[in-house]
Structure 1
Amino acid sequence: MQHNRRRSAWRPAALAAIGGSVLVAMGVGVWATLTATAANVAPEQVANGTLKLTLADNGAGFGQSITNLAPGDTVNRYVALTNGGTLDAQALTLQVAATGANALITDGATSKALRVTVTECVNGAWAPDTGACGGTKAVLMAATPLSGLASAVALPAGAMAAGDVQNLQVSVQLPDQNETTVNGVLPQGTVQGQSVNLTYTFGETQRSATTTNS
């Protein structure tokens, strides 16, 4: 009798365990959820713009050497800057790398160094043979010693829209100064017979970033 009682007591416990397992299994189904997605049929294309600045000589430009400068002389060269990218640009700058005779680069206690001036012909072009501007002249940079152009200097030329061209006159001047040569001997620190090599680098930055709604 005790053996039967034990078997009878075991059966409800076993049934309860089986039932619990069924409920656990059914519980997984209870927590299942429906999902749905939506996507554009045609892909949206995103393309970046480009920022390009090119320099071209107008007339002799920077491709021709300047020779036989005398104190007080000014030589004008003409170049065209083109914003050839698809992005508008701003903040035009100029830097001039100069190597050679220090007397033509740095003033020191004198005013012997070469000066550079930049003038734009607004809404027109320069005639390199006459120096005539077909628009309005605007000085972008007053006469500056070469040493002052070792770092980029801002040119207040305003924004350059994509495709815009800026026509520039770049003037190089040897300041008026006095020197005396005695018996064929040049004075110390002379500017005579000296030379420098100049590399002009113009720069620009992209237009200000924008937020567009459409």
Structure 2
Amino acid sequence: MSKHMLSIGSDSKPPVVAFGEYLQWKVRMVHFLDNKDENIMKSIKNGLLISYMDLSEQTTANGIVVLASKIKKDPQHYTKTEKQRVLIDKKALTYMLMAIPNELFNRVDSRGSAKELWDELEKHMLGSEKSIQTRMNQCASAYEGFRAHENESILESYNRFNVNLNDLRRNGIQKSMFEINYKCLKNLRSEWYSLVVNLQMNKNMSEEDIHDIYSILYEHEETVRELMTEKEEGG
């Protein structure tokens, strides 16, 4: 099976994580596990089941008082619900191990639970808090620096802008609909100026979706290019 197919996964096999594609893998993996059993992700988030039983206060034959306490419950005394949870924990770990490629396996396989394995994998793939902050800054910088390129179609500009938006969302950076629309329109080429002004005056930038804005721009692209050609030939 190709590396591309492994990274996507299938109905029976989880997607395999690849360097540089951890955030994409995480989305696919969560969906895969939720489709198998929504309790699997709960196991990964909460860790292995550790069940305790209460011991009441007792007085020995010698008159020594043993205070009430909790002890770890022997698995043979688990309830039906607890036994089901143990099976979920095992499934979670199995799927996690299947999702790790051989070149990464020996770095993380010592972890004894799906939660520990998930957390360790994330540290390897994303790095420290400092590197995470650096990546967030890079995403924000790419978004702020967005400009439509010369001779670029509106579709190409739209696609690049959406990649920037998706990177922001992956890294937990949210922008309002108004900010997104204003940012995109403000940084189109000068030939779009008249249409941009018209949109800003007649559309509610806080309610219009960027995809709807793109559709309007796309409908007028040929007209904008014709006007630009006429201007160049006349100038």
Q: Is this a same-fold pair by TM over 0.5?
A: no
Structure possessing the higher radius of gyration over alpha carbons: 1
TM-score, normalised by the number of residues in structure 1: 0.20
TM-score, normalised by the number of residues in structure 2: 0.19
Greater RCO between the two (CA within 8 Å, min separation 6)?
1
